Amino acid sequence: MTSATTVGRVFDPAGPEHRPDPHPLFHRMREQAPVHRHVSPSGRAFWYLTRYADVQRALLHPDLGRELDRLPPELAAVHRRWDRDPLAMVRRNMFNLDPPDHTRLRRLMAPAFGPRTVAALERRVHQVVGELAGGLAAGAETGAETGGEAEVEVDLIEALALPLPIMVVAELVGFPAADLPRLRRWSDAMLRGRDAAQVRRAGLEFVAYVNERIDERRARPDTYTGERQAGPDADGRRAGPGTDDDGRPGGAGEDLLSRLVRAERDGAGISHEELVSSVFQLLLAGDETTVNLIGNGVLELLRHPDQLDRLRARPEMIGSMVEEAMRFNGPVGHSRPLYALADVRFGDAVIPRGDIVLPVLLAANRDPAVFPRPDVFDIGRDPNRHLGFGHGIHFCLGAALARLQARAAIGALVRRFPGMALAADPAGLEWTPDLFLHGVRRLPLLLRQRP
Ligand code: HEM
């Protein structure tokens, strides 16, 4: 017999044994307990949703919110016992806010992510990918010259996936290229610090750094151009994402940080804490997610050689290949936690007010009710309405930038290295330790320029 709700520890989607391949468990949960309350070893309860329709509905539901303060104090207090967030100083960003505060911040930030920014960054992304892939190709050539095989073994994550997204976030925000190593260190420590003290230390260092950059812009609010990494176009326009999409003339002072500093100064609706938290959010949202999309995408191509051949024969399929990678094994396991602000019914189950709900995007994307043959990796899948970038008002603001980077990186790799192969047993790959982000830590590849 199946029931809509299962209470207890029967299914533990966060269990480490499911990290390499959580999908068999998700299928069982979707069939037997699509609205599943799991109590973690520390005693905290989470409701996991694994059906596409439920995930979509949860992300649109007005009674499932992100602000703990909207719960009555006695219910909020239950969560605060667990929530000693070492990054509490950077929490006031869109991830953790509901309307109207979410709407206000999203309106301020969204224009900086529009088509003109993406177009301006496109050339830069292709240039950086070209340089990184060129370096790998040179490695393979050297192997040939020294009498060895015309191939090189690399960790794709380190060599290609990691350097790109952080560069894009830095360009978007307006951080100097020279600071990339520091940003990389803070991003890693804030997401994967050893302990709360290390996470907090990295958070405080990052906040101090952002405040310095803010002070620079405050000193010259309308003229700041920063140390851009990209020079001007041949016709004199800025090549970086300096122009925005709401009709302002391009030119000085138009990176995202300048825009937000000006909004704070003009009383246009952003507090200092929100400004710093929003910049932090971009590092959290745009870095490891994109790294994982590139890593997971290449891994699936290598695990499915017929699909890799198909892409080689028709390189224009790179766009739908990236969408299928998002669906099949996307970088984000579940959305940020949602609090039930009232009792909320899903099928037979009533989620009581005050409980936490986790819509599992990875599971929704393999729901056979929406995707025929969900466990088949098909780079031509159409339609492909995956929820890998979320849904509703929190839909990923950086989706176009992420797609651009994944297409450029995976496309270049496939084009340049016809003889690309896994240099490790896929079963032995190390995956991220929790369900929130989903990706491999290292991806050893053998790269050959000849088949
Ligand atoms: C939100 C996925 C890349 C910026 C989200 C959400 C998901 C997501 C699932 C919704 C989370 C929720 O509802 O709790 C991804 C994936 C990426 C990616 C899979 C890469 C493959 C980026 C990049 C940026 C970015 C490159 C910016 C540089 C954001 C922001 C939000 C967001 C600002 C919050 C939007 C809001 O709350 O209104 N992303 N993201 N993301 N993403 Fe992305």
Q: Whose CA is nearest to atom 36 of ligand 1?
A: 394
Q: What is the ipTM of this complex?
A: 0.99
Q: Which atom of ligand 1 is nearest the CA belonging to 336?
A: 14
The position carrying tokens 């309405």 is: 385
Q: Which atom of ligand 1 is nearest the CA belonging to 391?
A: 13
| 307 ligand 1 Cβ < 6 A | no
Average pLDDT over residues 270-279: 96
Q: Ligand 1 centroid vs 235 CA: distance in angstroms?
A: 34
Instruction: Supply the pLDDT for residue 81.
Output: 81
Point out the least confidently predicted range of 151-165, 305-319, 370-384. Answer: 151-165
Q: Whose CA is nearest to atom 17 of ligand 1?
A: 289
Instruction: Supply the pLDDT for residue 224.
Output: 57
| 398 ligand 1 Cβ < 6 A | yes
Instruction: Supply the pLDDT for residue 149.
Output: 61
| 445 ligand 1 Cβ < 6 A | no
| 394 ligand 1 Cβ < 6 A | yes
Domain spans of the chain, in order of start = 5-448
pLDDT greater at residue 43 or residue 216: 216
Q: Ligand 1 centroid vs 286 CA: distance in angstroms?
A: 7
Instruction: Supply the pLDDT for residue 191.
Output: 85
Distance between CA atoms of residues 292 and 438, nearest Å: 7
Distance between CA atoms of residues 389 and 42, nearest Å: 30
| 285 ligand 1 Cβ < 6 A | yes
Give the dihedral of Cα atoms 212, 213, 216, 218; nearest 10 deg. -100
Instruction: Supply the pLDDT for residue 230.
Output: 40
pTM attached to this predicted model = 0.92
The string of pLDDT tens digits covering residues 197-233 is 999 999 999 999 999 999 999 887 665 554 444 433 3
Closest to 176 (Cα-Cα) out of 277, 264, 281, 255: 255
Express as a percent the part of the chain with pLDDT over 90. 75
| Contacts of range 390-394, beta carbons closer than 8 Å, 24 or more positions apart | 390/59, 390/332, 390/335, 390/361, 391/55, 391/56, 391/59, 391/60, 392/59, 392/60, 393/99, 393/102, 393/103, 393/106, 394/59, 394/94, 394/95, 394/102, 394/335, 394/336
Point out the least confidently predicted range of 6-15, 171-180, 306-315, 334-343. Answer: 6-15
For residue 239, pLDDT over 80 is answered with: no
The string of pLDDT tens digits covering residues 106-129 is 999 999 999 988 999 999 999 999
Q: Whose CA is nearest to atom 21 of ligand 1?
A: 290
The string of pLDDT tens digits covering residues 416-439 is 999 899 999 999 999 998 899 999
| 293 ligand 1 Cβ < 6 A | yes
| 291 ligand 1 Cβ < 6 A | no
Distance between CA atoms of residues 29 and 48, nearest Å: 9
Instruction: Supply the pLDDT for residue 143.
Output: 58
Kindly indicate the confidence band of residue 250, based on its pLDDT and cuts at 50, 70 and 90.
Answer: very low
The string of pLDDT tens digits covering residues 175-189 is 999 999 999 999 999
Q: Which atom of ligand 1 is nearest the CA belonging to 278?
A: 33
For residue 9, pLDDT over 80 is answered with: no
Bridge partners of 48?
36, 358
**Residue 14 DSSP class:** T
Instruction: Supply the pLDDT for residue 445.
Output: 96
CATH number of 5-448: 1.10.630.10
Q: Which of 93, 109, 396, 437 to mutate to test the pocket of ligand 1 (most atoms within 8 A of CB)?
A: 396
| 117 ligand 1 Cβ < 6 A | no
| 397 ligand 1 Cβ < 6 A | yes
| 389 ligand 1 Cβ < 6 A | yes
| 281 ligand 1 Cβ < 6 A | yes
**Residue 352 DSSP class:** P
Q: Whose CA is nearest to atom 10 of ligand 1?
A: 390
| 94 ligand 1 Cβ < 6 A | yes
Average predicted confidence (pLDDT) for the chain? 89
| Contacts of range 396-401, beta carbons closer than 8 Å, 24 or more positions apart | 396/285, 397/94, 397/106, 397/109, 397/110, 397/113, 397/285, 398/113, 398/282, 398/285, 398/286, 400/113, 400/115, 400/118, 401/113, 401/117, 401/118, 401/121, 401/168, 401/172, 401/286, 401/290
pLDDT greater at residue 64 or residue 255: 64
Write the single-letter amino acid at 318: I
| 113 ligand 1 Cβ < 6 A | no
Which tokens in the block code for residue 147? 């009498």
